[in-house]
Amino acid sequence: MNRNQFPILSREVYGKPLVYLDNAATTQKPLCVLDAMREEYLNVNANVHRGVHWMSQQATELHEAARETVRKFINARSTAEIVFTRGTTESLNLVASSFCEGFMKAGDEVIISTMEHHSNIVPWQLQARRYGIKLRVIPMNDAGELDMEVYQGLFNAHTRLVSVAHVSNVLGTVNPVEEMIRIAHAHDVPVMIDGAQSAPHFAVDVQQLDCDFFAFSGHKMYGPTGIGVLYGKEEWLEKMPPYQGGGEMIATVSFEETTFERPPLKFEAGTPDYIATHGLATAINFMTEIGMDNIRAHEQELTRYATRRMQEIDGMRIFGTATNKDAVISFLVGNIHPMDMGTLLDRLGIAVRTGHHCAEPLMNRLGILGTVRASFALYNTKEEVDVFVDGIKRVAKMF
Ligand code: 7TS
């Protein structure tokens, strides 16, 4: 991997070389992504899907080519199944809003898990208030693995949807979603997968998973902010009511009656961020050129190496020790407050995340207020892990 693609990684903070380990929050962007977006603004900027003029057609072609790139990336059957959104959060809100409106009534239930990000909890709670639906929560063991027996027992005649994270942003647990989907489908219940922390790290095949919905964010996979994806099986997207109204999503409009476009446009009201979709496609091409399996292997090695080295430290507690774990390590050392650890590491040039990581119910389950979290990307190195581990040791000595 050529780190020169990421000039920001060569900068210093507080006179120290930056060690960026907050990739689960957002990743840095390679030059090819920035160049592609600048190039489009400079040469082919025009609104998409509407113009007869040359530039609008060029911009539309780039935008729709990006949809095809995304389709291929997750192996969806058709580009009709690829809805562009602002990110995972909007994708989840879209499904919560449209699915509940279309298919749920008071007393119906949605199954989520203990380790969900707030964006896979709160949208359901908002709909719960509106429609009187209930949330059922899959518990986990101390290693941070979901209890599959309890999960199977949560299904009943009122279960309408399962919505779970593919990978936990705190514990790094890779949930057995393929099996979970199989179980849900045996009960005729569709499944939504929050792929915010999986799509950046390993190959995802939505047809193989057989998930009904899958969400991810561009900015966590070397793409721009403000763009994300909702994959939905065509049969669901056809049946679901629209999320927002406006231009692009309609077929005909009169004051008496409006008819809607077919998916995906039905769910894309207003001018899409067509510059960002091109940026996202460029990021996907950047990743697939390196190879998702190579990215996975590199990040797995870093995670294993970091875990081993961190265990040298007295009082080290790592949260999330699942057998199948991805590139995230949450930890605490002795009684050191995570904010203190994060702030002092920052002074050494090391960027980590601290706090509840938008997963307060998970913190409650763990009986803690927060953790320090290091998360890896394809550009991180073993040398950076060494700096990080030495940094923790230095901070620990100060207490
Ligand atoms: N789901 C998971 C599992 C996430 O990790 C995140 C963001 C989201 C959903 C929301 O994604 P967004 O792009 O719509 O904001 N997670 C984090 C994080 O761990 N630190 O900052 C953001």
- Ligand 1 atom showing the smallest separation from residue 22 Cα: 20
Q: Determine what percent of the chain is predicted with pLDDT higher than 90.
A: 98
Radius of gyration of the chain, Cα coordinates, nearest whole angstrom: 22
- Distance from Cα 197 to the centre of ligand 1, integer Å: 8
> Which pTM does this prediction carry?
0.98
**DSSP per residue over 140-204, as a string?**
B-TTS-B-HHHHHHT--TTEEEEEEESB-TTT-BB--HHHHHHHHHHTT--EEEE-TTTTTTS--
Pocket test for ligand 1, best of 22, 86, 88 (most atoms within 8 A of CB): 88
Q: Whose CA is nearest to atom 4 of ligand 1?
A: 196
- Ligand 1 atom showing the smallest separation from residue 167 Cα: 3
- Distance from Cα 25 to the centre of ligand 1, integer Å: 6
- Distance from Cα 9 to the centre of ligand 1, integer Å: 22
- Ligand 1 atom showing the smallest separation from residue 169 Cα: 5
- Ligand 1 atom showing the smallest separation from residue 89 Cα: 14
Phi/psi class of residue 114: alpha, beta or left (left: φ > 0; alpha: ψ in -120 to 50)? Answer: alpha
- Distance from Cα 58 to the centre of ligand 1, integer Å: 33
Is the per-residue pLDDT at 198 higher than 90? Answer: yes
The neighbouring-strand residues paired with 232 are 213
User: Which amino acid appears at position 290 of this protein?
Assistant: I
Strand, helix or coil at 241?
Answer: coil
CA–CA gap between residue 325 and residue 310 (Å, rounded): 16
Determine the straight-line distance between the first and last CA of the chain, rounded to whole angstroms. Answer: 38
Active-site residue, 211 included: no
Mean pLDDT to the nearest integer, 97-116: 98
Phi/psi class of residue 18: alpha, beta or left (left: φ > 0; alpha: ψ in -120 to 50)? Answer: beta
Per-residue DSSP letter, 266: G
Structure tokens, 80: 């009709």
User: For residues 371 and 1, is the Cβ–Cβ distance under 8 A?
Assistant: no
- Distance from Cα 89 to the centre of ligand 1, integer Å: 8
Is the per-residue pLDDT at 226 higher than 80? Answer: yes
Per-residue model confidence as pLDDT tens digits over 239-266: 999 999 999 899 999 999 999 999 999 9
Q: How many CB atoms lie within 10 A of CB 369?
A: 14
Pair type for strands 191-194 and 159-165: parallel
Is the per-residue pLDDT at 1 higher than 90? Answer: no
Structure tokens, 242: 């629209």
Closest CA to 220 of 341, 371, 91: 91
Per-residue model confidence as pLDDT tens digits over 354-392: 999 999 999 999 999 999 999 999 999 999 999 999 999
CA–CA gap between residue 245 and residue 260 (Å, rounded): 9
Which stretch of DSSP H or E encloses residue 60? helix 54-74
Q: Cis omega before residue 264 (within 30°)?
A: yes
Per-residue model confidence as pLDDT tens digits over 43-65: 999 999 877 999 999 999 999 99
Q: Which of 32, 100, 211, 358 is catalytic?
A: 358
Half-sphere exposure of 129 (CA within 13 A, CB side): 5
User: Which amino acid appears at position 139 of this protein?
Assistant: P
- Ligand 1 atom showing the smallest separation from residue 359 Cα: 19
Closest CA to 261 of 55, 58, 50: 50
Per-residue model confidence as pLDDT tens digits over 163-179: 999 999 999 999 999 99
Pocket test for ligand 1, best of 26, 115, 119, 214 (most atoms within 8 A of CB): 119
Structure tokens, 224: 């721009």
User: For residues 19 and 342, is the Cβ–Cβ distance under 8 A?
Assistant: no
Q: What angle do CA 88, 378, 113 make, to 5 degrees?
A: 35
Average pLDDT, the chain: 97
Mean pLDDT to the nearest integer, 106-125: 98
Q: How many CB atoms lie within 10 A of CB 118?
A: 16
Per-residue model confidence as pLDDT tens digits over 269-327: 999 999 999 999 999 999 999 999 999 999 999 999 999 999 999 999 999 999 999 99
Q: Which residues line ligand 1 (CB under 6 A)?
A: 24-25, 87-89, 117, 119-120, 165, 169, 194, 196-197, 217, 353, 357-358
Mean pLDDT to the nearest integer, 202-208: 98
User: For residues 18 and 370, is the Cβ–Cβ distance under 8 A?
Assistant: no
Position 51 scores a pLDDT of 79
Query: Domains along the chain?
Result: 3-29+292-398 (3.90.1150.10), 33-289 (3.40.640.10)
Q: Whose CA is nearest to atom 11 of ligand 1?
A: 88
Q: Whose CA is nearest to atom 21 of ligand 1?
A: 25
Confidence of residue 153 (pLDDT cuts 50, 70, 90): very high
Q: Whose CA is nearest to atom 6 of ligand 1?
A: 196
